Amino acid sequence: MNEAGYLRITDRIKDMIITGGFNVYIENVLSAHKSVAQAAIVGVPDKRMGEVAMAYIIPSASYQPEASDIIDWCRQEMANYKVPRHVRFVESFPLNASGKVLKFELRERAKVELD
């Protein structure tokens, strides 16, 4: 909050991924896959595209998907630049008190996993 009482929101600005100059929003499309209970997407650095999508997925209880299955399905359902280049399966997401996914924690986790 500044001196005039205006509040500036700074945390969620990085939730949008920009790949090769295009804004990427794919969580809703990815959540339509039968083996995906929930999905969270974060951007990870890429030398050619600037950043690419990395999907963290909580699988549906009745499915045991493979990363390659998710990527292949995405290639059929969305433009190639939107397709996640990395997929990780998790049991849960880090959440804040309101139940929103803490994507900054997933981005930090991605840095460790991809190094």
Model pLDDT for residues 67-85, shown as the tens digit of each residue: 999 999 999 999 999 999 9
pTM for the model = 0.85
Hey, what are 103's tokens? 């994507």
Supply the range of the domain harboring residue 47. Answer: 12-114
pLDDT at 5: 84
Model pLDDT for residues 22-58, shown as the tens digit of each residue: 888 889 899 999 999 999 999 999 999 999 999 999 9
- Is 21 inside any structural domain? yes
What is the β-pairing status of strands 86-89 and 50-59? parallel
- Is 3 inside any structural domain? no
pLDDT at 10 over 70: no
CATH code for the domain of 72:
3.30.300.30
Number of domains in the chain: 1
- Is 53 inside any structural domain? yes
Cα–Cα dist 73/53, whole Å: 15
